[in-house]
Amino acid sequence: MQGLGGVLQTAVQMMLELDDSLLEIIVLSLRVSLTATVLAAVSGFLLGAVLAVWRFPGRGSILVLLNALMGLPPVVVGLMVYLLLSRAGPLGNLGLLFSESAMIIAQWLLVTPLIAALTQQIVADLMLEYREQLLSLGTSRWTMLQTLLWEGRFSLLTVMLAGFGRAISEVGAVLIVGGNIMHHTRVMTTAIALETSKGNLTIALALGMVLIALACLVNAAVAFSKAYAERAYG
């Protein structure tokens, strides 16, 4: 294997040439992880906000569980989804195993607890700030939930980024439910694992750098639009 300089050079070369197979892997990675993050944001925002706004028995236990699930190993999620989607499993007749959809489902399940737990904290903090005001206006809980989510929108965007980071970086779940099939379910992380197993450590590490560059791009795009939105509506 070459030194770090050689790796960097290979990485830059890869990004400049951007051949079809690399492009395909990048596009698939982004499509899977962005879709999963958006779905997880929808479910996580709702779940987190409900837990922040309502008081009901068992709420404390759910919160503890959610916080614990933030550390859920991807490979466990992968296994659960595998058992669910396998032909021998309850949802087997959908034939979704080893497909892009299976990877999205796995990452969605992986990211939802993270987004829900962080959302709960953000909305709960806002709730402390605005509670009296909202109550004096006689707002219903539903309206309160929507108002607070909207008030926290910029923080929630950062939460989404954290979720995206967890999704795009994991390999355990997508490898099991996607199967690392060329042209179909091969994403950045599973491609890195494959190149490593071929002993192509330089290419593997260069792919890793491309992945970091991608994550930077996504984060920069969000940071930019956030700054713009804050100026416009903040």
Partner 1 sequence: MKLIRNILLCLWAACIALAGQAQAGEDFITLASTTSTQASGFFDYYLPLFQRRTGIEVRVVAVGTGQALKIGENGDADVLLVHDRIGELQFIRQGYGIDRREVMYNDFVVVGPEKDAARIDKMKNAVTALQKIAGSGASFISRGDDSGTNRLERRLWREAGIDPADAQGTWYKEAGAGMGAVLNMTAASGDAYTISDRATWLAFQNKADLVLLVQGDPRLFNQYSLMLVNPEKHPHVKKQQALLFMDWMTSTQGQQAIAGFQMAGQTLFKPNARKQ
Binding site for partner 1 (CB under 8 A): 1, 35, 38-39, 42, 45-46, 86-89, 92-101, 104, 142, 146, 149-150, 179-182, 184, 194, 196-201
Q: Which is nearer to partner 1, 54 or 227 (CB)?
A: 54
Q: How far is the CB of 232 from partner 1 (least distance, A)?
A: 19
CA atoms within 13 A on the CB side of 181: 12
Kindly report the number of other CB atoms within 10 A of residue 49's CB atom.
Answer: 25
Minimal distance, residue 216 CB to partner 1, in Å? 26
- CA–CA separation, 95 vs 41, rounded Å? 26
Nearer to partner 1, 6 or 199 (CB): 199
In angstroms, give the least distance from the CB of 195 to partner 1.
9
CA distance 186 to 203: 15
Instruction: Choose between 181 and 223: whose C-beta lies nearer to partner 1.
Output: 181
- Residue 89 or 213: the one with the smaller Cβ distance to partner 1 is 89
Q: Are 178 and 185 in contact (CB under 8 A)?
A: yes
How long a stretch of residues is the chain? Answer: 234
Residues 6+ apart with CB under 8 A from 208: 192
CB 34, min distance to partner 1, A: 11
In the DSSP assignment, the letter for residue 99 is: S
CB 13 within 8 A of CB 88: no
CB of 152 to partner 1, least distance (A): 13
The answer to whether 159 and 196 are in contact (CB under 8 A) is no
Nearer to partner 1, 2 or 225 (CB): 2
